Amino acid sequence: MEAQLYQKFFTLELLPTSIAQLKVVQTQYVEANNCLNVLNKSNKEKELLIPLMSSMCAPGKLRDMEHVLLDVGTGYYVKTAEDAKDFFKRKIDFLTKQMEKNQPALQEKHAIKQAVMEMMSQKYQQLTAPGETQKVAKA
């Protein structure tokens, strides 16, 4: 019984964290997708900083509007801007669906937590009521 309660409360704490992490990743994909919007003819030959690592950039010029190099993992790369936009759209849609799928479970767990808290509060009030302490003392 105690293990089940622990698991339910652990899940209650884990779900909001998971949803928050999904939102962070989704925001990163949205921002990356928005960066592709600067790939237009009016920005050709403009100077920019090219990220080499998370804390290091190199100066460069924007020359090719149609090709990008996007590491999608395990040695695979997307090479056109349109393919990159499609990749980001799929990732954003997937994360949105995952958050929507977890939301009802979070609401259900929250309702259970509220019910348990109310029940505990009622029991505590019953135990601390003036008449109850006399009954306990007589027993």
Q: Where are the domains of the chain?
A: 2-106
For 11, 13, 106, the CA distances from 7, given in Å and listed in that order, are: 6, 10, 14
For 78, 118, 133, 135, the CA distances from 128, given in Å and listed in that order, are: 66, 15, 7, 11
The reply to whether CATH 3.40.720.10 applies to domain 2-106 is no
Q: Roughly what angle, to the nearest 10 degrees, separates helices 81-128 and 2-35?
A: 150
* Residue 118 DSSP SS3: helix
Q: What DSSP character marks residue 38?
A: G
Q: Is the pLDDT of residue 6 over 60?
A: no
Segment 17-58, tens digit of pLDDT: 888 888 999 999 999 999 888 888 888 899 989 888 889 999
